[in-house]
Structure formats: structure tokens, C-alpha cells
Structure 1
Amino acid sequence: MEFLQKLQISTHNEGISTGSKWLAGHGVVINSYSPVDGALIAAVSTANKEDYDQVVTKAQEAFEQWRLWPAPKRGEVVRQIGQALRAYKEELGKLVSYEMGKSLQEGMGEVQEMIDICDFAVGLSRQLHGLTMHSERPGHRMYEQYHPLGVVGIITAFNFPVAVWSWNSMLAWICGDVCVWKPSEKTPLCAIACQHIITSIFEANGVPEGVSCLVSGGREVGEWISKDERIPLVSATGSTRMGKAVAVNVAQRLGRSLLELGGNNAIIVTKNADLQIAVPAAVFGAVGTAGQRCTTTRRLIIHEEIFDVFTNKLLHAYQQLKIGNPLNPENHVGPLIDKDAVQQYLHAIEECKNQGGVFLTDTGVLDGEAYSSGCYVKPCIAKVAHHYPIVHKETFAPILYLIPYKTLEEAITIQNSVPQGLSSAIMTTDLREAELFLSHAGSDCGIANVNIGTSGAEIGGAFGGEKETGGGRESGSDAWKNYMRRQTNTINYTNQLPLAQGIKFDIS
């Protein structure tokens, strides 16, 4: 395919890079198969421990130089990366769609998120502010400033194979850090394409080799990163199970971890909801990326007075969904990432049925020539009780659970009853209902929306969640502080040295 050639993706690719230099990997070879048609796209060489150590050493060397660049100069490099991403938006968006399986519109949208975070980071490069304060001692000045942290390890998941890396790397770079990226072994080509795109920008600006490093591989690479004392911050996106393992490894060496883990997101639909808004928000939130977003809508908590009306409208909308090749912009839903994901989908459906759930739509795997990869499934809806164990689990698939409620307080309790705490939403035209949902007694999630769905986030706001979602914050607001170390400074500009609590110490 032409877009693969433009992104310098061949039938065999090295998956280890320190920037312009691509290293021969001595690990296993990963084959990347497209869930769209089951075709083998390309093979990728991965790292062994010696390869990994070589990359981190180069990153350490690069940090010694990169941290001395003025932040606005680093921002200028990121600005040029944003321009390059604009030029490659179509090609990279198609690769994301083809290798991961999300719709072409979503693939393009993911690249746009990368462009947006570049723009955000450029402005931020001139605003890495500290804080001044008054000292209790005369003739003293106190302030706080932020310094670059060092090597940042970035572990990303398959469902957003490029955007989440950019959320971390663009901010880390303008802060003066260097990055070592371990992409998902299910989408290695997207990472390789990104590295190719930025290489020419780095070379043209004399950026030190090692500021952007790529280490492809399996679970072992993530373990090396999480246990590596040379890496002060590990940003990991993925399952809660994976995040807990990373958190333990990083904590044992007293490092920092930034975790973006699972979600089990709900929309509360009150009897005062505008259904013209609520229905499309629920549908897009539930079936976008074939239910493989951490912000996917997995539960609809619907007031009992409108439960049947809303459900009928939802079912009508589901009948209009087009499932198929995501590179065809007319299709709404693409495939799951692989056949393991399909089995998880089927297993969750059986669990739901066994626990008492009633499915209101067909379920199962689609067959036929158009679905030859075996990864296309039917988005489905089930009426459940909120105490069913399956409802409290995150299944990365387009399964939507409907739960009736009587009072808003009950609905909020139901929403907050799951272990995860990423995204949430309420659909209402009642100001009091909206404000209660956003109050201390409301949603316990990191994201709480009114009259928009749970999926999607603007880069200007910090993204992340609570409880088993990990507590991390990426992207906008003051998330940049994660990538820097804070230092308090006190300057005495007198010829006296006042000691604490009036202690006298005479050396004359």
C-alpha cells in the first residue's frame, strides 16, 4: 500500500532506534497482522536486554545535552514536529486504522490529537513557571523552580498506538527530558512510522541522538523499563493488571509512575435528558473503536420512567450501524484487535447471560468474505442488574449494559460502585441534577461530563482517572509537572545568617 511506503514501512523493519540510528535487534521477530483483513503487514525485529541497555545509555547521554537547551528552543523543535504530522496526517491515519482496526475517521482523529498536543506544548515551552514567596527571614528571597527530570519511559497500548505517546513525549521534550518508548507489540509499525517522521526534524535542528528512543518488544521490555533505576518516571497506559505490576516495580526503587489504566465508564440518563443528544452520545461512546477505548461507554444508567423509550431509540440506532473495513469511511465499526479479543468478547457475553443478563440485540462473530480476519463482532446491548460481577469488569469490546434507576442519588451510587474511575457523564437539562453530579457527592471519576459522552477528551484538560484507573494525569492543564522535578530555592543577600528558632552560634 502506498501509505506504507511513504511512512518507510517495508516487509521487515528494525524496531529499535535512538533517533536517526536504527539498531539491529537481537530479540524475537514480531509479525504485525492487520485485524482488517488478517494480512501480514510486516515483521519487526525486537530488543534483547543488551540492546535495551545500549538504548538507555544513549538516552542518558542525550539528556546531558538536551536539558541545557532553552525550553522555547525545544518548543520550536516540537512545533516543527506538528508541521510534519500535518503533512503525514493521511498516511499515518491510514496506518493507525489498518494496523489497529479503528475507523479511518478515528485514525485521522488520533493523528490530529498529536498535532494538537504539539501546538499545546509549543505554547507551554514559554510557560514552565515556578513560584515566588515571602521569606520569614529578612534579606532572603524564596522561590520554586522546575528542572528536567531525566529519562522518561513510555509504555503505550494498542488502542491509541500514536496519540498517547505524543501526549507524553511532546510534554517531556519541552520540559527537557528524553524519552524511551515501548509501544504495544500489537501495533509496532505505528511507532516505527512516528520515529521515521520525527527523525528528519531532529537532524535538521541538531537534536542530540537519543532524545527520542524506540524499543520494540514484548512484556519483558516493559519490565526492564519499570525496574530500571536510570528511568525516574515511567508512564504506562494499559490494563489495570499491567499497571499494578508496573507500579510495584517502580515503587520498589522509589521512582515515579504515571498510570492510565482501565475504565468502566457510565452515562446517567435522567428523565430530564435531551434524548436527541443522549442517544448518539451513548452509541458513539459504546461502539467507537469497537469498544476498545479506556473511555468507552460500558454502562447506561437510565431513569426508570424513560427506560423503555430510551432503549427503543438506542436499538433503532444500533440497527443503522455499519460494520466493516475501517478504511471505508462509510463504516462505523471496525474489527477487534485480534482473535484473543474476540474470545474475551464471547466469554463476557456468556458470563452476562449466566448471571441473569438479557441481551436485546444479536451477539456473536461476523462471518463472510468481508470479515475474513475473524475479528469482526456484533455490537450488543444487555439489560442487567448493577450487582452482576461482569458489569464491574472492563471488557475491551462493544458490549453495553443497561441499568434502570429510581433516584439520582441511586444512579450516582451505581456509577461509583465499580473499581475503575476514569470517565463519566450525565445527560440532563436540569441544573440541579448536573451540579449534584459534579459535586463532592457526585461522580468519583477523573473526568465528569454534562451532556456529552464519556469518550473523547480535549488536550487542554488533564486526562486521567482515579481508583484502579491509576490516578495519573496526562496531556493538558498542569500535567507537565509530572515530567519535571521541583526545587525550592532560598537566597540570602545580606551579611547576616539568621538561624532557626533564634539559635545563636558564635564562631568569632
Structure 2
Amino acid sequence: MTTVTTNLTARAAELLAAMGAEVPEGGDLTAISPITGEPLARLAADDAASVEAKITAAHEAFATWRTTPAPVRGAMVYELGQLLRQHKAALGELVSIEAGKIRSEGLGEVQEMIDICDLAVGQSRQLFGLTIASERPGHRMMEQWHPLGVVGVISAFNFPVAVWSWNAALALICGDPVVWKPSENANLTAIATHALARQAAEAAGAPVEVVQLILGGREVGEQLVRDERVALVSATGSSRMGHEVAPVVAARFGRCLLELGGNNAAIVAPSADLELAVRGIVFSAAGTAGQRCTTLRRVIVHEDIADELIERLRAAYSTLPIGSPLEESTLVGPLIDQRAYEGYAAALKSAVSAGGTIHAGGSRVAADEHPDAYYVEPAVVELPEQVELMHTETFAPLLYVVRYRDFDDAIAMNNAVPQGLSSSCFTLDVREAELFTSAAGSDCGIANVNIGPSGAEIGGAFGGEKETGGGRESGSDAWRAYMRRSTSTVNYSTELPLAQGVTFG
């Protein structure tokens, strides 16, 4: 256990000031660092009137922003990318302080923001439609993409700023204002990011009203979800949250982009490079203290190599430095709060009751003089079969191991859970690799071979199927979610032929 850093309150205030952020102090919201479990600041939440005012401001700004040329809109996102480069160290450290990520992951999250800004700036000149051959002489038919409207973004604590940027960078170049409701566990990082976004708007001559931030609890999020002026709600969180959000938005014929639960597996085949597999497994399972939606939660290993893999995992887990994420040597930081720890402990108990064997970890680690901080040993638990417990996502560093004999059975086990975000397969057999990534293979939105399920790049569309929600963010053609499609036909002839040979007259 590395030393827990103290005086985080003063350091967080310094970082916020360095980024030009003004903190609305004195309210009922408490920003807490999971590093120590102690308060960083007390913040004023938005009330119903201020939420209404901010949505109204965004909606009114849409009238101007949607007619601004897309490359000009891209100039604002360019400025945001430059500011993020300038403040990468400060924002990355604030992510570590408020979300508990180790330093390299905090910095990596900001780099991900920079990367999506770069992608979006280029995309602002490539919002392509189609020219379609018309069956009618003297007619030209085309498909165009137009701005959609206000985009509401609800983000989770585990990627407190990157997920906002995935949505905001694309939404802004598409002509959509963004109203952001961050996690209650990550308000300070949101305040800092929002300040940089406003500075970027001013530098680019864009209306600052196109970016809005609302702070608060469930009632604030519900108001955002219900508002008919919010054309798209992009929500990241649990599948339970998605079940609540989606019907409300659908009832008013709005759009949803959902990034929900993950319960990700790695198949380890007999031909696998075990050294490579162990490195991929340990990072994917223990990184971010198991609090990624793409965290590896299940290893499905061939029975012929299971004992060797488990022994290698046991050895690797015994060397993981646990402690303050601000210490350079740390690889595993804290869980976000007490509820996360209780979920971890309860799942371990259930796994043992189901016949599981704990091969590594499983205990809480003392955090010196900070009893309200929750550090745990990443755990490896072997189960005799894929029991019902494994169908539930536990947001903690808890890795289940089960054995398989036939590769088709391994794929079936991968697909048996209700979530469908990410998956991976370690194999040197080209047939297994191709089958795993084929239509008959993994049913997840992400299917990797010889890398773990976490660590997605922004160039590819990110998201999953089934209870993961079906949304796609970041690269590829994810920009289309933030626009509406219009098919137009122009008749430049002097005749009026009808389609399908219909005559009327």
C-alpha cells in the first residue's frame, strides 16, 4: 500500500484556478476524493429554474449554430484541443484526485479528449451525404445531413471527462449545442472542462451558450431527459439507468444514445501466447481498479492450459502496487466509494458460496488514517461453471475464471450474458480468430484478438449491443447520431414524371 496523499483540497483548488474555472461554492453537493474519502469542496447544485434557463440558452443558440458552416464550427473544437494540450497535466491530475485514476490513466483520459478533438476537426469538413441516381429524367436526388438540436450528455464517474468529449466534439461540429450533466462523483473535473470549453468558444468567436453545464442529482438528470427541446440524450451508466432513461425519451419521440453495462470476457485458447495473454488480462481486469465499462470480468480458458494461466495470474496479481493514484509506482488506485466496496465484497461472498476458489486478492487494504477510502486487492476467482452470478456486472476488480473444452462452447459462454459491450480472444489459430470476430462469433460491439477488451482507440466507433444499449460514440460514422437525415429531389426538367411509372391525370 503506497502512501495516501494529503492536502488534496488545496491542490484541487490550485488546479481549477490554473484552468480558469470558477467553482459554485456553498451548496449541498460535496466533491469527495476517493483517495482519502475526504471532501474537496462543497458545491451549489442547479435548481429547476437554472436547468430550464440553461436548456433554453442552448436551444436558442442552436438557431445560430446550425447555420454556421461546419468547418467554422470545427474551429471551436480545434481551440478546445489546443487548450487541452496546454492544460493536460492539470486536468489529468484533477481526474486522478477526483476519480481515483492512476496518473498515467488520468493523463491518458485527457489525451483521449485531444484525440477526439483532432478527429472531429477533420470530420467537420467531411459530413458527407450521397448523390443518388434518380429513375426520373431531369431529376437529381441527394441525401444530406443537418444539425439535430440540443444534445444532453449524462456521464459517469469512471471516465469523467473523456466521455463528454466523445459526444461534445462531434455534436459541436455537427451543429448541436451540448448540455452536460456529469456524475455527482466528478463535478470538479466537469467544471474545469466546461471552463476550457467556454474559453475555446470565445477564442473561436463561437457563442458560449453552445456548451452548458448542470450540476446536481437525479432530479437534474430527469429534467434534462424529459425536456422536449433536447433532441438527443447520450447517457453513460448502468443498464438499470438505461431502462429508466430510454422509455422517457422514447415517449416524447426523442433519440437516445446509450452506453450502459459491460460484462466482458476473454477466451484463452490452447495456442495462446500466455505471456501476452497475462499482460492483457491483468491490465484489463485490474486497471482503473476494475471500474471501466470495458473491464475484463470473465476469463474463459481452455482446460489444458487453465492451471498454468491461473498460476501466472496469481503471480502477477501478487506484484500489483495498490495505493494512492498520485504515486508514480501505483497501478491500482481506490474504488470510488463505499457502495462500490460493498458490491465487491458481496460478489466475492456469493462466488465462494457458488463453489468458487479465490486464487488471488479478495481483501480490503488499509488506507492509513483514511477509513473512508476504499482500497481492495484485485481478485481472481475460479468457478466450476459460468453461474448466474457471472451474468451480473460488479464494478470492481473482480475477475472470474471458468474452463472450457470446445471453442464453440467458449463463444457461447462469451455470449451468454445480457450485456454485449466488449470481448477478446487470445489465440494464434487463425481459424479461431476469424470465427471469433465473425457473425457467428462474439455478439459484442467490440471483438478483439490478442489484446484485452479495454483500451479502445477513438478512430473506431465505440459501443455495444443488448443491455449495453446499442449506442455508438467516437470514431467511424458515429457523427451521424448527432444529425438528422434529409433526402431531397430536385426537378430541373420541364416535365413532371412520377416515380414507379405512376400516372395521375
TM over 0.5: yes
8 Å CA contact retained: 1:3, 1:92? no
Residue 7 of structure 1: SS of its match in structure 2? Answer: helix
Residue 452 of structure 1: SS of its match in structure 2? Answer: coil
1:7 equivalent to 2:6? Answer: no
Q: Supply the AA of the counterpart residue of 2:36.
A: D
- Alpha carbons of structure 1 residues 368 and 35: separation in structure 2 relative to 1, 3 Å: closer
Alignment-derived partner of residue 20 in structure 1: none
Alignment-derived partner of residue 358 in structure 2: 359
Alignment-derived partner of residue 368 in structure 2: 369
Residue 254 of structure 1: SS of its match in structure 2? Answer: coil
- Alpha carbons of structure 1 residues 386 and 445: separation in structure 2 relative to 1, 3 Å: farther
8 Å CA contact retained: 1:226, 1:234? yes
CA deviations over 1:400-433 (Å, ceiling 9, x no partner): 0000000110100111000000000000111111
8 Å CA contact retained: 1:144, 1:488? yes
- Alpha carbons of structure 1 residues 482 and 68: separation in structure 2 relative to 1, 3 Å: same
CA shift for structure 1 position 250: 0.6
8 Å CA contact retained: 2:16, 2:22? no
1:467 equivalent to 2:466? Answer: yes
Q: State which drifts further: 381-390 or 210-219.
A: 381-390
Alignment-derived partner of residue 421 in structure 1: 420
**Aligned partners of 2:493 and 2:278: how far apart in 1?**
68
8 Å CA contact retained: 1:12, 1:42? no
Matches within 5 A, 1:26-425: 29-369=28-368, 372-425=371-424
Q: Supply the AA of the counterpart residue of 2:340.
A: A
**Aligned partners of 2:129 and 2:395: how far apart in 1?**
41
**Aligned partners of 2:221 and 2:355: how far apart in 1?**
39
**Aligned partners of 1:437 and 1:81: how far apart in 2?**
39
Aligned length: 495
Residue 247 of structure 1: SS of its match in structure 2? Answer: helix
**Aligned partners of 2:138 and 2:450: how far apart in 1?**
54
Alignment-derived partner of residue 6 in structure 2: none
Alignment-derived partner of residue 447 in structure 2: 448
- Alpha carbons of structure 1 residues 338 and 424: separation in structure 2 relative to 1, 3 Å: same
8 Å CA contact retained: 2:262, 2:468? yes
CA shift for structure 1 position 201: 2.0
8 Å CA contact retained: 1:152, 1:234? yes
8 Å CA contact retained: 1:463, 1:473? yes
- Alpha carbons of structure 1 residues 72 and 499: separation in structure 2 relative to 1, 3 Å: same
Alignment-derived partner of residue 477 in structure 1: 476
8 Å CA contact retained: 2:28, 2:45? yes
8 Å CA contact retained: 1:325, 1:370? no
CA deviations over 1:65-124 (Å, ceiling 9, x no partner): 111111111112111111110110001000001100011110000000000000000110
**Aligned partners of 2:121 and 2:500: how far apart in 1?**
46
Residue 210 of structure 1: SS of its match in structure 2? Answer: helix
Q: Supply the AA of the counterpart residue of 2:14.
A: Q
- Alpha carbons of structure 1 residues 102 and 289: separation in structure 2 relative to 1, 3 Å: same
- Alpha carbons of structure 1 residues 501 and 37: separation in structure 2 relative to 1, 3 Å: closer
Residue 369 of structure 1: SS of its match in structure 2? Answer: coil
CA shift for structure 1 position 209: 3.1
**Aligned partners of 1:170 and 1:33: how far apart in 2?**
28
8 Å CA contact retained: 2:237, 2:259? yes
**Aligned partners of 1:182 and 1:485: how far apart in 2?**
23
CA shift for structure 1 position 329: 1.5
Q: TM-score, normalised by structure 2?
A: 0.95
Identical aligned pairs, as a percentage? 55
**Aligned partners of 1:441 and 1:434: how far apart in 2?**
12
- Alpha carbons of structure 1 residues 372 and 329: separation in structure 2 relative to 1, 3 Å: farther
8 Å CA contact retained: 2:318, 2:360? no
CA deviations over 1:315-366 (Å, ceiling 9, x no partner): 0000110000001121000000011111111111111112221111241211
8 Å CA contact retained: 1:152, 1:235? yes
CA shift for structure 1 position 221: 1.6
CA shift for structure 1 position 387: 3.4
- Alpha carbons of structure 1 residues 302 and 487: separation in structure 2 relative to 1, 3 Å: same
- Alpha carbons of structure 1 residues 161 and 271: separation in structure 2 relative to 1, 3 Å: same
Q: Supply the AA of the counterpart residue of 2:24.
A: E
- Alpha carbons of structure 1 residues 305 and 130: separation in structure 2 relative to 1, 3 Å: same
Alignment-derived partner of residue 436 in structure 2: 437
Residue 129 of structure 1: SS of its match in structure 2? Answer: coil
Q: Supply the AA of the counterpart residue of 1:195.
A: H
Structure 2, unaligned runs of 5 or more: 1-9
CA deviations over 1:467-500 (Å, ceiling 9, x no partner): 0000000000000000000000000001111234
- Alpha carbons of structure 1 residues 502 and 455: separation in structure 2 relative to 1, 3 Å: closer
8 Å CA contact retained: 1:4, 1:91? no
- Alpha carbons of structure 1 residues 501 and 420: separation in structure 2 relative to 1, 3 Å: closer
**Aligned partners of 1:185 and 1:493: how far apart in 2?**
56
Residue 95 of structure 2: SS of its match in structure 1? Answer: helix
CA shift for structure 1 position 2: 4.5
Structure 1, unaligned runs of 5 or more: 16-24
**Aligned partners of 1:6 and 1:290: how far apart in 2?**
24
8 Å CA contact retained: 1:365, 1:378? yes
**Aligned partners of 1:151 and 1:144: how far apart in 2?**
22
**Aligned partners of 2:353 and 2:48: how far apart in 1?**
45
**Aligned partners of 1:68 and 1:179: how far apart in 2?**
16
8 Å CA contact retained: 2:367, 2:375? no
**Aligned partners of 1:392 and 1:351: how far apart in 2?**
13
8 Å CA contact retained: 2:420, 2:466? yes
Q: State which drifts further: 3-12 or 456-465.
A: 3-12
CA shift for structure 1 position 3: 5.7
Residue 209 of structure 2: SS of its match in structure 1? Answer: coil
CA deviations over 1:191-225 (Å, ceiling 9, x no partner): 00001122222112221131000001111122112
Residue 152 of structure 2: SS of its match in structure 1? Answer: strand
**Aligned partners of 1:310 and 1:123: how far apart in 2?**
44
CA deviations over 1:128-161 (Å, ceiling 9, x no partner): 0000011111100000000000100000000000
Q: TM-score, normalised by structure 1?
A: 0.95
**Aligned partners of 2:268 and 2:504: how far apart in 1?**
69
- Alpha carbons of structure 1 residues 146 and 39: separation in structure 2 relative to 1, 3 Å: same
8 Å CA contact retained: 1:132, 1:144? yes
**Aligned partners of 2:101 and 2:279: how far apart in 1?**
18
